[in-house]
Structures are given as C-alpha cells and as structure tokens.
Structure 1
Amino acid sequence: MKRNRTALITGSARGLGVRIAHELASHGIRIAINYRTSVVEAEHLKHELETAYGSETLLLSGDVSHPADAERMALAVIDAWGSLDMLILNAGPYIKERKKLADYTPSEWDAMVNGNLSSAFYLCRAAIPYMRRQRFGRIVTVGFEKAQTAPGWMYRSAFAAAKTGLVSLTRTIALEEAEAGITANMVCPGDIIGDDKQRRISEARQIDQGDTPVGRAGTGEDIARAISFFCAEASDFITGTVLEVTGGKDVLNKYKLEGER
C-alpha cells in the first residue's frame, strides 16, 4: 500500500477493530481510532500501534449513530492529516439476547438500525466529498454471513434488517462513486466471537476447532486481511463485492430459544 494513507476505523478500540487497526498500521497506514466509551482500550491500542509500527494515530471519541459525531470525526481526520483515504465501518450494536420481532422495543429497533445502517450514511456522507476531491477512497462495511441474500435470521430481526440494508447501500455507493476512484465493498465474518476477535491466525491454528470445516476458529486477523485487500491501491477494480469469511461454517439460524426443538 502507499504509505501515509489514512484510515478511520469505527469501533476500533475493542474486538475486530483492534486487529483491523494492527493490519492496516503494519502497511504504514495512519490510523484514526474511534471509540464510544472504551477510552482505556483506545489508549492502549494507540500505544501498541505506535510501538509496533511507528504509526501515526489519532483518538476519536464519538457515537457513529449520531450525525454530528460522524461529521466531526471525519473532519478531525482531514484536519489532522489532510486526507481521509479509508473508511472502515466496523462499529455496530448487537443485542445478544434472542428475541422475536414482536418482543423488540422501539428503542432497541432504533438502536440497531441507527447503529448499523444510518451510521454508514452519516459517515459516508461526511467522507465521500473529500474522497472525490483526492480521486481515491476505500469504503469497507461489515455484514454477516449470507447478508447479500437478505436471509431471515431468527431472533436477530433488527440487526439482520439493518445489515442487509447495508449491503444495498454499499453496492449503491460502489456504483455512484466508481468514477471518482472510490470503491465500496463488504466483508461478512462468520462465527468469530469472544477472544477470537482479537486473535491472530497463528494462535488459532494451535486450538482444535472440530466443528469448523477448515479445522480452526476464525480470527480477527482473517477479517483484517480481507479488509486490507479491499483497501489496497491495486484493488481499484474490485467494488460492490460482498466477501464471506466463514471457514466454511454455516451458523445462521443454528440457535433456537430454550425449549424449542
């Protein structure tokens, strides 16, 4: 990758965002670390990136579901470094409790839709004008397994609806902004949970994972490598793509409410 490119990674203080930040920083990318409440984790990641790669980093607190915060963060990157080259939309709320649609409250629905879909609109709206001027931009969204087919997902209605909407939004941006040198793609993680989100591939290979066809658990590094590929200078011909990173494991709808068979 061309050095001194800049990347804003939302929700990057914890989980998958940490490994994404490490991967891009290892290629000489300046990293803007976004967090909402995880200030300690964000400061720790900043130290790690500066120590390991000599990276220039920027800490940005803000809630991506708020339009003013989204615009402020995009402008902060421009003000600090003069460009915003890569927008990685990793942040997205998720309700772990399994609930049918009729059991969601309006506030829970709004949180899922605003955090996973509207936030992409706010951030892309703020970033794209600058990407157009520089004739370069990489936008990467994060979905879920089979999101591009608009599947039903039991007990995850709000999250699934928002993310499948994000597929269409990603592909629309790809079409609208291709002439400006901006690509937009989506990465869909498989069953990557808990500590695996920040784990390296080499670590996962030491752990038996018999229920995954490839024989190991997925990791944050798997997702980060896919995102890094989409961000590369030479990936300018790849846009509107939805890439699944699942290890061949089918996890959609594997869960049922306790007592159901």
Structure 2
Amino acid sequence: MKEKTALITGGAAGIGKMTAELLAEKGFHIVINYRKSEEKARKLAEEIQRKHRVKAAAVKGDVASMEDCRRIYEQAISLTGRVDVLIHNAGPYIRERKKMADYSLDEWLYLVNGNLNAVFYLTKLCLPAMRENRWGRIITMGFDRAETAAGWPERSAFAAAKSAVASLTKTLSREEAEYGITVNMVSPGDIEGDWKEKRIGEAMGRPDPGTPVGRPGTGEDVARVISFLCGEESDFITGAVISVTGGKDVLGKGKGK
C-alpha cells in the first residue's frame, strides 16, 4: 500500500485508534481526525510515525459541520498530498436513553448531521481524486442489522441516521465501482470500555456468557475487518454490510449500547 493515505474520523481513541494502528502496520500514511481529544490524537500520530515509519498527523474538526469537514479534508491533503481511504468512524451518540418525542431539535439535528450528513460531506470531497486515481476505499460504520432499518427503541436518531447510511453505502458502491472505488459498512457489536483498544489475544480465554462466541469483542476484531476492506485484495467486495458482533443480538430485548 505504498504512498496511500487513510483519513480516519474519530481516530484518536477506541476502534478508530485500533484501525489507525493496523493500517499503519500495512504501510498506509494516517490522518487522525479528532474533535476534543487533541492530546490523544497527537500522541497516537507520533507513536505511529515512530513505530511504522509512515506519515501520521492529527487534524481537528467536528464532522457534524460541513465547514469543518472541508477543513479536515484540506488539511489532510496539505499534510500527505492525498486521501485514498476514508473511514467514517466518528459519529455522535447520546448515551441517555430517550424516546423520539423527548429529543430536542438541536439534539436530533446534531445526531443526523454527525452520523449521516458527515458521510455525504467528506465523501463528496474525497471522490474526485479517488475517481482520478481510479482507486479508493470508503468505509462507513453501522450497528447490528442497520441495513434492515431495524427499530431501536430510545435510539431513534442514531438508528435512523445509520440505517440511511447503510442505504447510501450500497448506492455509492454501485455508483463508484467503475472508478475502482469500493464502499462498505462495518457494524460493530457490543464492544465496551477499554475493550475498544484491546487486541484479540487479550480477549482469548476471557469468558463472556452474553456473547455466543464466548469471549469479549475487541477493537482489533473490528479494525481487522476494516483493514482487510482497505486492501488491494478486497476489490471484489463492495456494497457489503459486515457485522462484527460475536453472534450477539445487540438489539435483542430492547437493549442498547
């Protein structure tokens, strides 16, 4: 993957961080977008440069803002010269469970802008160069069964936005295939807390009765799928929605994240 650059939104921590590390191991230059976690983002960029001898940089911006998305893209181009892989990892989420009727207009718009419109904003900016290069990888993030437009009680804004992204992912995969661009969605299961930044080896032998495979999920579980989809060898996979849940029914019995 010589001289290819990956832009990862929300890449300073969690699954985004694990993805940045795995892609750097494969030789990608890395641009880490962050909103508030400046120290973590800059530290990660420094570690990646030192360990993997690729370019790495941290860029501030809120993906819910069209203006910030333009700034993120322009800074990524100025730092590395190109964006070949776009990973839409960032997406605002309200942990408080509430019914649709209880959302304020500002909350609703922020969740929809950050989870759906951000995909439009950044993808539209990146597509012209990807088309010209006749190569690109775009990864969106969903939730268990997002592609079925499943109802998720007390998570209406997030679920509606991500279900729309699933449809957009499939549409883009058809529209951009002729340019060598693949577009896929990865849907993480219940991967909580510190496990988002752990490796698979750390989860082996750790019992998790609530997950059918019997162990906790890790950030590496998800990042490895993303990493594969970003490679040359994945060019026949596009328009796919891949769940990484360990077999757990994330939406079952009304349970959320």
The TM-score bracket by the shorter chain reads over 0.9
Residues of 1 paired with 2:180 and 2:51: CA distance? 31
Query: Which residue does 1:152 correspond to in 2?
Result: 151
Query: Which residue does 2:177 correspond to in 1?
Result: 178
Residues 181-240 of structure 1 show CA distances to partners (whole Å, capped at 9, x for unaligned) of 111000000111111111110111142212211111111101100001111112111110
Q: Which amino acid aligns with 2:172?
A: I
Residues of 2 paired with 1:48 and 1:252: CA distance? 37
Is the CA contact 1:154–1:253 (under 8 Å) kept in the aligned structure 2?
Answer: no
Residues of 1 paired with 2:182 and 2:18: CA distance? 22
- Equivalent residue runs for 1:190-205 within 5 Å: 190-205=189-204
Q: Which amino acid aligns with 1:61?
A: K
SS of the residue corresponding to residue 153 of structure 1 reads coil
Q: Which moved more, 1:44-53 or 1:85-94?
A: 44-53
Does residue 168 (structure 1) correspond to residue 167 (structure 2)? The answer is yes
Query: Which residue does 1:98 correspond to in 2?
Result: 97
Query: Which residue does 2:46 correspond to in 1?
Result: 47
Does residue 86 (structure 1) correspond to residue 120 (structure 2)? The answer is no
Query: Which residue does 2:32 correspond to in 1?
Result: 33
The alpha carbon displacement at 1:253 in A equals 4.3
Residues of 1 paired with 2:254 and 2:107: CA distance? 20
Query: Which residue does 1:143 correspond to in 2?
Result: 142
SS of the residue corresponding to residue 213 of structure 1 reads coil
Residues of 2 paired with 1:88 and 1:222: CA distance? 16
Query: Which residue does 2:132 correspond to in 1?
Result: 133
Residues 12-64 of structure 1 show CA distances to partners (whole Å, capped at 9, x for unaligned) of 01111110101100101000010011101111211221232122101110111
Residues of 2 paired with 1:165 and 1:240: CA distance? 14
Residues of 1 paired with 2:43 and 2:57: CA distance? 12
SS of the residue corresponding to residue 236 of structure 2 reads coil
Does residue 64 (structure 1) correspond to residue 63 (structure 2)? The answer is yes
Q: Which moved more, 1:76-85 or 1:216-225?
A: 76-85
Change (3 A) 1:212 1:80: same
Residues 70-109 of structure 1 show CA distances to partners (whole Å, capped at 9, x for unaligned) of 1222222223322210000000011111111111111111
Q: Which amino acid aligns with 1:27?
A: K
Is the CA contact 2:42–2:57 (under 8 Å) kept in the aligned structure 1?
Answer: no
Is the CA contact 2:55–2:80 (under 8 Å) kept in the aligned structure 1?
Answer: no
The alpha carbon displacement at 1:255 in A equals 4.2
Query: Which residue does 1:244 correspond to in 2?
Result: 243
Is the CA contact 2:152–2:254 (under 8 Å) kept in the aligned structure 1?
Answer: no
Gaps of 5+ in 2: none
Calculate the TM-score normalised by the size of structure 2: 0.96
Does residue 75 (structure 1) correspond to residue 82 (structure 2)? The answer is no
Gaps of 5+ in 1: none
Q: Which amino acid aligns with 1:104?
A: Y
Does residue 217 (structure 1) correspond to residue 208 (structure 2)? The answer is no
Residues of 2 paired with 1:8 and 1:191: CA distance? 24
- Equivalent residue runs for 1:3-18 within 5 Å: 3-18=2-17
Q: Which amino acid aligns with 1:72?
A: R
Is the CA contact 1:196–1:220 (under 8 Å) kept in the aligned structure 2?
Answer: yes
Residues of 2 paired with 1:128 and 1:65: CA distance? 19
After the TM superposition, list the runs of 4 or more consecutive aligned residues in structure 1 that deviate by more than 6 angstroms.
none
Residues 103-154 of structure 1 show CA distances to partners (whole Å, capped at 9, x for unaligned) of 1111111111000000000000110011111111000000000001100001
Q: Which amino acid aligns with 2:51?
A: A
Change (3 A) 1:256 1:85: closer
Residues of 2 paired with 1:133 and 1:256: CA distance? 44
